[in-house]
Amino acid sequence: MLRVMRRLLALMILVPVVGGLMAACEDDEGATGLCTSGENIFCRCRGGEAGTKQCAEDGMSFDQCTAPSGPCPEIGGSSSSSSSSGTGGSSSGLALLEPCEESSECQSELCRMGYCTKDCAKWQECTDEVAEIYGDCVAVAGMVQQCVPYCYSQDDCDLFGQPSECGYAPAVDALYVVVCADWGVDIPPLPPVGYDCLSDTDCNLGHLGTELVCEFDFCIGGCHLPEDCPTGTTCSGGSPGACQ
């Protein structure tokens, strides 16, 4: 009889413990995180550069988006929408930042600098990741703030024809960006000496004769090739060389 009572007592103690463990397991199985810890997923930097971001240890957040050039502000698909302009426009026609010739072709009813644009107050109004529209809000050459497309080099702006050229300028929130626009000058504004770079194009933006090249991951004055020099001069000396 004593042996039976001991077994019953043991069962009374064991059942709540097992039940608690099962409940804990069920809670763990039912819990869902935002991502898998350590997982790397695609992200896009403001400016259009592709990057990756890593899932944090808790599985509920991500580290900063990082591109080959380094950490960067990320374009968020849910927070970036070009449809929130409040500037009116048509539901038919060319989308924002598509090449155009006449304003009547554009949904925004404004064609300027070779592409459809609109007035803006913040950069998110010029980017829509879902629609693959990547631009920023910049006041160019004394004009009102308008949406302008990102560029990596002049080749990206050739799509819009003259007078759009790839240049370096501050957006409305003072972050410097590289965009296609009519700068009203012969040579558009370029990144300054000391600017981080991976190639000469990061410094001269594809413009010839600027005497601006990438050396030791920084933009510096000088040349690597004859086309880095102004007309009538050539590149001579070491690396970087000097235009003479």
| Annotated domain spans of the chain | 40-74, 76-188, 190-244
First to last CA, the chain: 109
Question: Exposed (0-12), middle (13-18) or buried (19+): which is 239, by Cβ within 10 Å?
Answer: exposed
* Band of pLDDT at residue 31, cut at 50, 70 and 90: low
Task: Band the pLDDT of 19: cuts 50, 70, 90.
Answer: very low
Q: What's the average model confidence in pLDDT over 30-58?
A: 83
- For residues 97 and 11, what is the distance between their CA atoms, to the nearest angstrom? 72
User: pLDDT higher for 89 or 134?
Assistant: 134
CA atoms of 156 and 37, how far apart (whole Å): 37
Cα–Cα distances in angstroms (integers) from residue 39 to residues 29, 43, 77, 161, in the given order: 19, 13, 19, 42
Distance CA 210, CA 230 (A): 7
- pLDDT(147) > 80: yes
Task: Using the predicted structure, report yes or no on whether residue 85 has a pLDDT greater than 60.
Answer: no
Q: Supply the DSSP string of 126-195, one letter for each residue.
A: G-BTTTTB-EEEEE-TTPPEEEEEB-SSHHHHGGG-TT-EEEEEE-TTS-EEEEEE--SSSS---PPTT-
**Residues 101-128: what's their mean pLDDT?**
96
Is residue 7 scored above 60 in pLDDT? no
Model pLDDT, residue 169? 95
43-70 mean pLDDT: 86
Structure tokens at 95: 């989308």
Residue 207: DSSP 8-state: -
| Res. 3: pLDDT tops 60 | no
Q: Which tokens go with 114? A: 């070779």
Inter-CA distances, 59 with 37, 62, 75, 134, Å? 5, 8, 21, 29
Percent of the chain with pLDDT over 90: 65
